[in-house]
Amino acid sequence: MNNLVAESLALVNELKPLVAGTEGADIVVCPVFTALYPVAQALEGSNIQLGAQNCHMKESGAYTGEISPQMLKDVGCVWTIIGHSERRQYFNESDEFLNEKLRFALASGLKVMFCIGETLEERESGKMNDVLVRQVTNGLMGLSEADFDNTAIAYEPVWAIGTGVTATPEQAEEAHAFVRGLVQDQFGEAVADKVRIQYGGSVKPDNAASLMAKPNVDGSLVGGASLKADGFAEIVKQSAQ
């Protein structure tokens, strides 16, 4: 929940020339809802796609305060984030609820970054794998092989979000490999090979390259560092290499 419309526009207008011509990575920005339409207009003709931070699992109706995939597409969104740790933590969004949102967003034609990850308490008590099994099994339930063309999994260890603490490349690789194995068990080798698994959790220009070098880390979900155009552009370039 950062940046008013003018600030969002200034940020993307600064970012565009910094990443122009960058190939080998999909570049997506996910501003607040109030900035989506003007940012979509500013991004026209660029290599940056627009995403939202959340969406509901109904097209319309008596859901005051919510926003549908159709509304997001109407203002130019290609992507949406679903299941971010803050949605799980502060708004009590369950795996089953998020699965509904994921399946409806995909059916509506949006691409989805679907977030999973454990808390520090869960990691330290040895429950990390159990948490990831539950979130992958319940969260991705009912998806088809084709759905994974439009679904990226974002592993975000909650203990590393906004804390300045980053999972080591080895910790990230271990978790990503485990998640890919879960996907293979449930959906088959072809899906596991093609699904993108992003890392999110205090990604910065000075650690992005070492994270991206790991074989099972396919991209990044950038938080605070995305609020500075030059830093975000550096992360993009490292991800594209």
Q: What is the mean pLDDT of the chain?
A: 95
Active site residues: 84, 156
- DSSP letters spanning 147-182: GGGSEEEEE--GGGSSSS----HHHHHHHHHHHHHH
Query: CA triplet 56, 113, 138: central angle to 5 degrees?
Result: 70
**What pLDDT is attached to residue 201?**
87
pLDDT bucket at 241, cuts 50 / 70 / 90? confident
Q: Are 76 and 36 in contact, with CB atoms under 8 Å apart?
A: yes
Domains, the chain, ranges and CATH?
5-240 (3.20.20.70)
| Residue 198 host element (H or E) | strand 196-199
pLDDT in tens, 142-175: 999 999 999 999 999 988 777 777 789 999 999 9
**0.85 cut: is pTM over it?**
yes
pLDDT in tens, 87-112: 999 999 999 999 999 999 999 999 99
